[in-house]
Amino acid sequence: MTVLLTRPPAEQALRQQPRSLGDLFLSFSWLALQGFGGVLAVAQRELVEKKRWLSREEFIEEWAVAQIMPGPNVINMAIMLGGHHFGWRGAVAAVAGMLTLPLLMILLLALLYGSVSQHPAVQGALRGMGVVAAGLITANGLKLIPGLQANVLGRAICAALGLSCLVAVAWLRLPLAAVLLGLGTLGMGLAYRRLQA
């Protein structure tokens, strides 16, 4: 069995690319500025649904690499995406976009902090945003499930691995490194065998 890597024409036509270094910088700036409580919550929507720089399948695969490497996963994603399109300059532009404006904003916030931090309404608002951001991340995971349809492992194994990871991390609270190493190695071994024939 050979797995075809070409995509249906309809999807190819929809695919977009970052136009320039400036485009990368601005797009990642906008992405980061929407990311209250972490950028992960908006990454999928911006990069897959709005910008169409990645298909769902590609997003999952890039995410897997970004997650397994050291460093913040959203920054790793920016480095890889920028790097694919414009080499090291693309990686720098994407990371600079991700960090510059948010850094300025957070330093301003640090200056203001203290005068408002003790106010219960402020504490409540922060908690409320944290709760919503958590929901957005869960939704991102749910939205990516259709991206597994073309996976070489097949539905049953995908479901087993995904659910095992969910239980291990959310319920049993096992260390992330151990979970990724265990389930990841298992999945990779199975995928390697299936890709053979």
Partner 1 sequence: MIPIEMGAADWLQMLLHFATLSLLGVGGAITTLPDMHRYLVDQQSWLSDTQFNASVALAQAAPGPNILFVALMGWHVGLNAGAGPLSLMGALLALLGTMLPSSLLVYAAGQWSHRNRERRIIRAFKQGLAPTVVGLLVATGIVLAAASAGSDQTWLAWVMAGVATVLMWRTRLHVLWLLAAGALAGAFWLR
Give the tokens for residue 192. Answer: 């390697």
Q: Is 34 in the site for partner 1 (CB under 8 A)?
A: yes
Long-range own/partner contacts, residues 46-55 (CB < 8 A, 24 or more apart)? 47/77, 47/81, 51/16, 51/18, 51/27, 52/14, 52/15, 52/16, 53/15, 53/16, 53/17, 53/18, 53/81, 54/81, 55/7, 55/11, 55/15, 55/147
Q: Are 164 and 172 in contact (CB under 8 A)?
A: no
The nearest distance, CB 167 to partner 1, in angstroms, is: 8
116 near partner 1, rule: CB under 8 A? no
Minimum distance of partner 1 from residue 26's CB (angstroms): 15
Footprint (CB under 8 A) of partner 1, residues 65-104: 65-76, 79-80, 83-84, 87-88, 91, 95, 98-99, 101-103
Joined tokens for residue 79: 């480095």
Q: Which residue is it, tokens 């504490």? A: 123
**Interface with partner 1 includes 123 (CB under 8 A)?**
yes
What is the DSSP code (8-state) at residue 114?
T
Stretch that binds partner 1, among 6-14, 17-25, 129-137 (CB under 8 A): 129-137
Q: Report how far residue 7's alpha carbon sits from residue 18's, in angstroms, rounded to the nearest whole number.
A: 20
- Contact between 61 and partner 1 per CB under 8 A: yes
Min dist. Cβ of residue 85 to partner 1 (A): 10
Residues 130-159 that bind partner 1 (CB under 8 A): 130-145, 147-148, 151-153, 157-159
How far lies 78's CA from each of 39, 136, 140, 183, in Å? 11, 20, 18, 25
- Selected from 51, 60, 115, 197, the binder of partner 1 by CB under 8 A is 60
Q: Which of 7, 23, 38, 51 binds partner 1 (CB under 8 A)?
A: 38
Q: Which of 32, 47, 48, 54 binds partner 1 (CB under 8 A)?
A: 32
Q: Does 14 bind partner 1 (CB under 8 A)?
A: no
